[in-house]
């Protein structure tokens, strides 16, 4: 049975039993405490917790999920995957244990011919919480399981909670027995891999508090509404129904594995190490495909870092199998074809997905090349010294250059040296500890979302700001320092929830409004406006005058100038996006935006920097659209109708069944957008592109000033031009030529000065040779030359001196001071050795390191020529003395 067919049967089964079919939410979770959607229940948490009233009594979904906490186990076990799909059925105070158990048994054991999954009862086991007599009785009633295959387990395995005060309850897990050839008898209680968990039924029935651990908490009582949350692992059921050994061999994953094997010239099943690599590749390519399809792009932090790590692990595994070049163009189309049956969007957006993935692979291959050079130098040094490659070097390669430790170990082993893994592991742990501490600190700064539960239960906040800037409302609730309060007093920072508001809450790239909330005897400045939970707008304010109380009448006042600027910038973002696509083609998708009064920032998919001509063209098209005074029309409609009209759904954004469509110039710019906008494009005033930069391997960023801010920018540039033309006494038309001429003259003068400095230094060769002395076994020149033009001048002089000493064991050590520009002067030391000196064991690299250490810096190089530097000019004499002592010894 194909994976997509299991998917279809699940939704069909529960839809026929009164469940609303809910499409999968994005992998990018709305929950601010989660990076990704990590379980099928995540999108339903507001309903399960009672935070938000459920829009339906029962629901079902097949949810896309990403988990990377067990990434090191991927490929090694039959069922660890980073991307997986969780089939779930949910009840929000509707049915409870009896129906949940009955539905599960019916779907699993009904024959395939009758629409079920066709499991044999003899292959199934269940576990229940040891004290849940009700669940045990219901399994006996609704299934044909014998008592010995209904096993009682403790809280550590069969009791569910969030780990925080709130809803919790016992759970019942369903397992498939793979057979005696896969392990020992005894059922799931043995915790043997023979028994594969395929479904978990959570009976959310209690309110818990004083949570100390997973098994140590206080049950306060039963919830007023008992909920059902279940999850069936689609991949696990698929590999059982398809008769394969693991999830990597199912129909949605195996094609990538086979293609990777073919590219690498390997045979799956022939070598355990290669099999693990091929499974990692198949899993991570699919995960990358799905993450990019939901709008994630590679970066060095957050979600983007996780995606980058997955993609780079694919490159690494391919490299470890001998594939040194690019392979994503072979692998990603295969994953697209395997997944598009369940998720058509991966085919529709594959042009974007492939550009992002291929660009990241290209970038990492360059990173690998530079990392290998650094590692080869470290390996050579370790070989010479008969030591291991330093652990801090391995960590630097991993942390700064993205160079995987596995590749470091392999290259070092090929050269016959080891790596100090103990130090590497220690440094990695320190980094993890810092990250955990930072995450804990950030978590501690967030208010407990449960404080908004009661407020959200009063209804959804109504936004009236599309049509008015002032609105009279009522204070529904106040939160001070994360705790509900009845009042907020003068000078306090508080969060205020109103029944209605004309103040825009930050969303869709548009920053929140500025303004005031005023009432009888109080006035509060609005510092921020956010949607704390879906449907609830929270105003962070500073109370300027008086006291704000719950139930008080309150009037919201939007700062009209700020709103005007914000709408100009938001509409300007749409116009720049349309201009980008007109110039660069439809492959240029918006990949994020931010706009506020006077400023807009637009991220878009494109792999190359824009030329000056291209930027000018985009700017001109944008301003021509403003001059054309296009009408800006907003309409609400079903999402299917909007898409049929050609409206762009921005990449990675989430939309409901009804959407707001914004037209500028009709179909020229037609996007789904909930933000505030101007009435006509001429109201935007002016757009001035001020920068275009890279923000990732396949993403660029345009920043623009808008309206009066754009005008002021042009005015400031005009003033600069006027000052230059006046100071240089040239007409504006000749200004560029005059500046270029001055630059050329300055460069020529600098070249003449450098030549004179070099000649001056070269003239000192006889003098320095005359002062050469016997130090140890070498004739040695040791000299502090004072201020020099550059390290290159010292290097040239050192090589000239070495040439004059080439017939004997000669050592040249020159030090000097280089001007530090705006900062302090910097000391530098150059060392050069002749062949006979090197035969005697004197190496320039060792000399440079020794001198640099005294100078407070670092250095090194080849045995014949090396350089070091530092920060303390006053230590030059001490450094030369230390080098003299070393050479003498």
- Residue 654: band (very low, low, confident or very high) from pLDDT cuts 50, 70, 90: low
pLDDT at 266 over 80: yes
pLDDT at 382 over 80: yes
Rounded to whole angstroms, the Cα distance separating 54 from 226 reads: 13
Mean pLDDT score, 856-870: 87
| pTM of this prediction exceeds 0.85 | no
> In sequence order, which residues have a C-beta less than 8 Å from that of residue 177 and are 6 or more positions away?
123, 124, 125, 187, 194, 195
| pLDDT of 568 | 97
Mean pLDDT score, 567-588: 94
Rounded to whole angstroms, the Cα distance separating 716 from 707 reads: 15
| pLDDT of 402 | 66
Long-range contacts of 448-454 (CB under 8 A, 24+ apart): 448/482, 449/51, 449/532, 449/533, 450/49, 450/51, 450/165, 450/166, 451/479, 451/482, 451/483, 451/484, 452/51, 452/479, 452/497, 452/532, 452/533, 452/536, 452/538, 453/49, 453/50, 453/51, 454/484
Rounded to whole angstroms, the Cα distance separating 64 from 87 reads: 9
Q: What is the DSSP string of 801-816?
A: HHHHTTTS-EEEEEEE
Say if CB 157 and CB 215 are below 8 A apart: no
| pLDDT of 70 | 82
Strands (E) in 212-356, as ranges, are 218-233
pLDDT at 443 over 60: no
- Angle at 424 (CA atoms; ends 423, 429), nearest 5 degrees: 95
Output the six-digit token pair for 738: 């005059």
- Angle at 100 (CA atoms; ends 99, 106), nearest 5 degrees: 80
Which residues make beta-bridge pairs with 784?
A: 815
71 Cα distance to chain centroid: 16
pLDDT at 601 over 70: yes
Q: What is the pLDDT of residues 72-84, one digit of tens each?
A: 889 888 778 999 9
C-alpha closest to that of 671 among 681, 661, 680? 661
Say if CB 786 and CB 816 are below 8 A apart: yes
| pLDDT of 669 | 94
Rounded to whole angstroms, the Cα distance separating 77 from 193 reads: 9
* Residue indicated by tokens 């470890």: 320
Rounded to whole angstroms, the Cα distance separating 31 from 65 reads: 14
302 vs 885, higher pLDDT: 885
Say if CB 70 and CB 41 are below 8 A apart: no
Helix (H) or strand (E) holding 375: helix 350-385
For residue 655, give Cα distances in angstroms to 278, 358, 590, 677. 36, 28, 16, 19
| pLDDT of 435 | 59
| pLDDT of 515 | 96
Say if CB 864 and CB 844 are below 8 A apart: yes
Rounded to whole angstroms, the Cα distance separating 273 from 255 reads: 19
Rounded to whole angstroms, the Cα distance separating 406 from 375 reads: 13
Output the six-digit token pair for 815: 């030090």
Binding residues for Zn(2+): 570, 574, 673, 677
| pLDDT of 468 | 96
| pLDDT of 170 | 96
648 vs 435, higher pLDDT: 648
Rounded to whole angstroms, the Cα distance separating 256 from 335 reads: 6
Give 284: exposed, middle or buried? Use CB within 10 Å, 0-12, 13-18, 19+: buried
8-state DSSP, 481: T
| pLDDT of 444 | 39
Q: What is the pLDDT of residues 542-552, one digit of tens each?
A: 999 999 999 99
Q: Name the pairing type of β-strands 778-788 and 810-818.
A: parallel
Mean pLDDT score, 787-798: 85
Q: What is the DSSP string of 198-227?
A: EEEEEEEEEEEES--SSS--EEEEEEEEEE
Q: What is the pLDDT of residues 39-90, one digit of tens each?
A: 999 999 888 888 888 999 999 999 999 998 888 889 888 778 999 999 999 9
- Residue 445: band (very low, low, confident or very high) from pLDDT cuts 50, 70, 90: very low
C-alpha closest to that of 104 among 147, 139, 152, 155? 139
pLDDT at 677 over 90: yes
Q: Name the pairing type of β-strands 58-66 and 20-21.
A: parallel
| φ and ψ at residue 12, rounded to 5 degrees | -65, -45
Rounded to whole angstroms, the Cα distance separating 793 from 785 reads: 11
pLDDT at 333 over 80: yes
C-alpha closest to that of 425 among 398, 407, 446, 402? 398
Say if CB 577 and CB 625 are below 8 A apart: no
pLDDT at 652 over 60: no
pLDDT at 698 over 90: no
Binding residues: 570, 574, 673, 677
> In sequence order, which residues have a C-beta less than 8 Å from that of residue 327 and are 6 or more positions away?
260, 263, 314, 315, 318, 361
Residue 40 half-sphere exposure toward CB, CA atoms < 13 A: 25
pLDDT at 199 over 90: yes
| pLDDT of 232 | 97
> In sequence order, which residues have a C-beta less than 8 Å from that of residue 581 and are 6 or more positions away?
588
Q: Name the pairing type of β-strands 195-209 and 218-233.
A: antiparallel
Mean pLDDT score, 338-347: 94
Say if CB 648 and CB 668 are below 8 A apart: no
Rounded to whole angstroms, the Cα distance separating 193 from 183 reads: 7
Q: What is the pLDDT of residues 817-850, one digit of tens each?
A: 988 766 788 899 999 999 999 998 999 999 999 9
C-alpha closest to that of 651 among 350, 864, 270? 350
Rounded to whole angstroms, the Cα distance separating 497 from 452 reads: 9
> In sequence order, which residues have a C-beta less than 8 Å from that of residue 217 and are 6 or more positions away?
161, 168, 208, 209, 210, 211
Rounded to whole angstroms, the Cα distance separating 738 from 733 reads: 10
Which residues make beta-bridge pairs with 705?
A: 599, 688
Q: What is the pLDDT of residues 389-428, one digit of tens each?
A: 888 888 888 776 667 677 788 778 767 888 988 888 888 8
Out of 100-104, 583-587, 659-663, 691-695, give the one with best mean pLDDT: 100-104
C-alpha closest to that of 664 among 572, 742, 551? 572
Average pLDDT value over all residues in the chain: 90
| φ and ψ at residue 18, rounded to 5 degrees | 85, 10
Rounded to whole angstroms, the Cα distance separating 250 from 558 reads: 56
- Angle at 399 (CA atoms; ends 395, 405), nearest 5 degrees: 55
Q: Name the pairing type of β-strands 124-129 and 150-153.
A: parallel
What b-and-e string marks burial along 467-495, b requiring 16 or more CB atoms within 10 Å of the CB? eebebebebbbbbbeeeebebbeeebebb
């Amino acid at each position: 049975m194909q994976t997509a067919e299991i998917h279809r049967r699940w939704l069909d089964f529960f839809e026929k039993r009164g469940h609303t079919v809910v499409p999968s939410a994005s992998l990018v979770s709305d929950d601010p405490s989660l990076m990704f959607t990590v379980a099928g229940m995540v999108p339903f948490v507001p309903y399960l917790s009672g935070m938000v009233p459920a829009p339906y009594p029962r629901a079902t979904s097949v949810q896309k999920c990403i988990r990377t906490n067990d990434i090191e186990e991927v490929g090694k076990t039959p069922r660890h995957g980073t991307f997986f799909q969780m089939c779930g059925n949910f009840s929000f105070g509707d049915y409870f244990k009896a129906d949940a158990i009955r539905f599960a048994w019916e779907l699993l054991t009904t024959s395939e011919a009758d629409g079920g999954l066709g499991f044999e009862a003899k292959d199934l086991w269940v576990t229940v919480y040891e004290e849940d007599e009700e669940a045990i009785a219901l399994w006996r009633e609704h299934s044909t399981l014998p008592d010995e295959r209904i096993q009682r387990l403790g809280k550590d395995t069969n009791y569910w909670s969030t780990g925080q005060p709130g809803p919790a309850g016992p759970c019942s897990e369903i397992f498939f027995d793979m057979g005696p050839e896969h392990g020992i008898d005894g059922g799931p209680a043995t915790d043997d891999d023979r028994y594969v968990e395929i479904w978990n039924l959570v009976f959310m029935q209690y309110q818990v508090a004083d949570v100390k651990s997973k098994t140590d908490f206080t049950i306060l009582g039963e919830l007023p509404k008992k909920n059902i949350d279940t999850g069936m692992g689609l991949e696990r059921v698929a590999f059982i129904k398809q008769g394969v050994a693991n999830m990597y061999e199912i129909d949605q994953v195996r094609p990538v594995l086979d293609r990777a094997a073919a590219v690498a010239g390997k045979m799956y099943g022939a070598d355990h190490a290669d099999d693990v690599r091929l499974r990692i590749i198949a899993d991570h390519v699919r995960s990358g495909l799905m993450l990019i399809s939901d709008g994630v792009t590679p970066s060095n932090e957050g979600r983007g870092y996780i995606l980058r790590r997955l993609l780079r692990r694919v490159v690494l595994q391919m490299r470890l199998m001998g594939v040194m070049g690019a392979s994503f163009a072979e692998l990603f189309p295969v994953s697209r074809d395997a997944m598009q049956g369940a998720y058509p969007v991966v085919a529709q957006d594959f042009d974007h997905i492939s550009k992002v993935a291929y660009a990241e692979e290209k970038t990492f291959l360059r990173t690998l090349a530079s990392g290998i050079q650094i590692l080869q130098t470290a390996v050579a040094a370790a070989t010479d010294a008969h030591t291991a490659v330093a652990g801090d070097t391995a960590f630097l390669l991993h942390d700064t250059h993205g160079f995987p430790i596995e590749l470091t170990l392999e290259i070092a082993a090929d050269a016959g040296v080891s790596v100090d893994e103990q130090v590497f592991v220690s440094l990695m742990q320190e980094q993890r500890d810092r990250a955990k501490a930072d995450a804990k600190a950030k978590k501690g700064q967030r208010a407990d979302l449960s404080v908004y539960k009661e407020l959200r239960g009063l209804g959804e906040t109504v936004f009236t700001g599309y049509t008015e800037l002032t609105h009279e409302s009522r204070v529904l609730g106040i939160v001070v320092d994360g705790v509900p309060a009845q009042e907020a007093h003068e000078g306090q920072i508080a969060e205020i929830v109103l029944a209605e508001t004309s103040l825009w809450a930050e969303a869709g790239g548009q920053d929140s409004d500025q303004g005031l909330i005023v009432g009888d005897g109080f006035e509060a400045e609005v510092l921020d406006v956010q949607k704390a939970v879906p449907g609830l707008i929270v105003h962070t304010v500073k109370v300027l005058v008086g006291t704000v109380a719950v139930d008080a009448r309150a009037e919201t006042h939007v700062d009209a100038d700020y709103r005007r600027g914000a709408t100009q910038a938001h509409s300007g973002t749409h116009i720049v996006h349309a201009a980008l696509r007109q110039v660069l083609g439809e492959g240029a998708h918006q990949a994020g935006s931010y706009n506020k009064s006077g400023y807009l920032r637009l991220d878009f998919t494109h792999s190359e920097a824009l030329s000056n001509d291209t930027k000018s063209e985009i700017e001109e098209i944008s301003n021509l659209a403003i001059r054309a005074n296009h009408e800006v029309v907003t309409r609400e409609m079903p999402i299917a109708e909007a898409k049929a009209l050609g409206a762009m759904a921005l990449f990675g954004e989430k939309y409901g069944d009804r959407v707001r469509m914004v037209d500028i110039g009709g179909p020229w710019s037609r996007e789904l957008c909930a933000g505030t906008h101007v009435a006509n494009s001429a109201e935007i005033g002016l757009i001035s592109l001020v920068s275009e930069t890279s923000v990732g391997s396949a993403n660029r960023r345009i920043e623009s000033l808008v309206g009066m801010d754009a005008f002021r920018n042009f005015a400031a540039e005009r003033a600069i031009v006027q000052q230059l033309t006046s100071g240089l006494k040239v007409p504006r038309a000749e200004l560029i030529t005059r500046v270029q001429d001055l630059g050329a003259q300055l460069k020529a003068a600098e070249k003449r000065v450098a030549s004179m400095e070099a000649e001056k230094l070269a003239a000192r060769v006889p003098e320095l040779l005359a002062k050469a002395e016997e130090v140890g076994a070498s004739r040695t020149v040791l000299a502090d030359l004072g201020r020099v033009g550059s390290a290159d001048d010292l290097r040239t002089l050192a090589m000239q001196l070495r040439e004059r000493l080439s017939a004997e064991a000669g050592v040249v050590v020159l030090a000097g001071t280089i001007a530090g520009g705006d900062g302090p002067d910097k000391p530098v030391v150059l060392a050069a050795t002749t062949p006979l000196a090197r035969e005697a064991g004197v190496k320039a690299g060792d000399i440079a390191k020794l001198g640099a250490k005294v100078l407070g810096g670092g250095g090194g190089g080849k045995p014949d020529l090396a350089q070091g530097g530092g920060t303390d000019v006053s230590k030059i004499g001490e450094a030369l003395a230390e080098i003299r002592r070393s050479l003498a010894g």
